[in-house]
């Protein structure tokens, strides 16, 4: 086999994987992990289930790949925000949280079941996923610490608790309910969510 041919093959394979990841992303966002079937994925990308299994060994691995993609999007946004001179750490945290909530509101955030030990185990065994999750937590941890030093976030709250709160907003059911309600538009809803979250994390106002 010559090099040019194998490079082409590798490119084709990469494109295939990209297409699959996109399809899984959409399906996970639309109906969730449990309801997504391998038949659907295969049909969405126009290949047979058997071929799909040649590229991904399991359904869990598909979910992991999709989550890696989302984490990469978040990490890219984090880097852009960090390069914004006018933004202080709290602004950055708000922008990132806003992006996550907007993605969820728009039905484009993949959703995995919280209670599924098999899936959790598979995710934690998937190194690219863990690596990105860790990387993100480190970067956000810095912002949280800075915001606490600046008195924008209550220093009495553990940084990890603050992180958990922000992560949780990416799957907050309030967003979907507000959308279904229909009386409020997206920007208004997101503004209220941001207000509630970050006023809640702010230091206690002793004068009140």
Among 14, 32, 37, 196, which residue interacts with DNA (rule: CB under 7 A)? 37
Q: According to the binding rule CB under 7 A, does residue 25 interact with DNA?
A: no
Q: Where are the alpha helices (DSSP H) in 46-172?
A: 49-55, 59-82, 89-105, 117-125, 127-149, 159-169
158 binding partner (options DNA, a copy of itself, none; Cβ < 5 to 8 Å by kind): a copy of itself
Query: What number of H helices and E strands is found in the chain?
Result: 10, 0
Q: According to the binding rule CB under 7 A, does residue 18 interact with DNA?
A: no
Q: According to the binding rule CB under 8 A, does residue 171 interact with a copy of itself?
A: yes
Distance CA 56, CA 53 (A): 5
Binding segment (CB under 8 A) for a copy of itself, from list 13-21, 37-45, 61-69, 176-184: 176-184
Q: According to the binding rule CB under 7 A, does residue 58 interact with DNA?
A: yes
Distance CA 188, CA 96 (A): 17
Among 26, 43, 53, 141, which residue interacts with DNA (rule: CB under 7 A)? 53
Q: In three state form, how does the secondary structure of 106-125 look?
A: CCCCCCCCCCCHHHHHHHHH
In angstroms, give the least distance from the CB of 86 to a copy of itself.
Answer: 21
Binding segment (CB under 7 A) for DNA, from list 36-44, 65-73, 130-138, 196-204: 36-44
In angstroms, give the least distance from the CB of 85 to a copy of itself.
Answer: 25
First to last CA, the chain: 76
CB nearer to DNA: pick between 14 and 76:
14
Tokens representing 141 are 């941890």
Distance CA 109, CA 184 (A): 20
CB nearer to a copy of itself: pick between 52 and 201:
201
């Amino acid at each position: 086999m010559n090099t040019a041919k194998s490079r082409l093959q590798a490119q084709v394979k990469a494109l295939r994987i990209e297409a699959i990841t996109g399809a899984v992303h959409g399906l996970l966002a639309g109906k969730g992990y449990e309801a997504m079937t391998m038949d659907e994925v295969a049909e969405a990308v126009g290949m047979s289930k058997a071929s799909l299994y040649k590229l991904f060994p399991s359904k869990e691995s598909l979910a992991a790949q999709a989550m890696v993609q989302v984490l990469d999007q978040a990490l890219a946004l984090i880097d852009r925000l960090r390069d914004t001179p006018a933004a202080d750490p709290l602004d950055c945290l708000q922008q990132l949280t806003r992006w996550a909530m907007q993605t969820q509101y728009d039905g484009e955030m993949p959703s995995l079941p919280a209670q599924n030990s098999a899936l959790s185990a598979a995710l934690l065994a998937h190194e690219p996923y863990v690596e990105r999750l860790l990387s993100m937590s480190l970067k956000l941890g810095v912002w949280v610490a800075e915001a606490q030093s600046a008195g924008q976030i209550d220093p009495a709250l553990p940084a990890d608790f603050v992180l958990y709160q922000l992560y949780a907003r990416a799957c907050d059911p309030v967003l979907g309910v507000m959308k279904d309600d229909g009386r409020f538009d997206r920007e208004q809803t997101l503004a209220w969510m941001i207000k509630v979250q970050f006023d809640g994390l702010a230091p206690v106002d002793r004068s009140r």
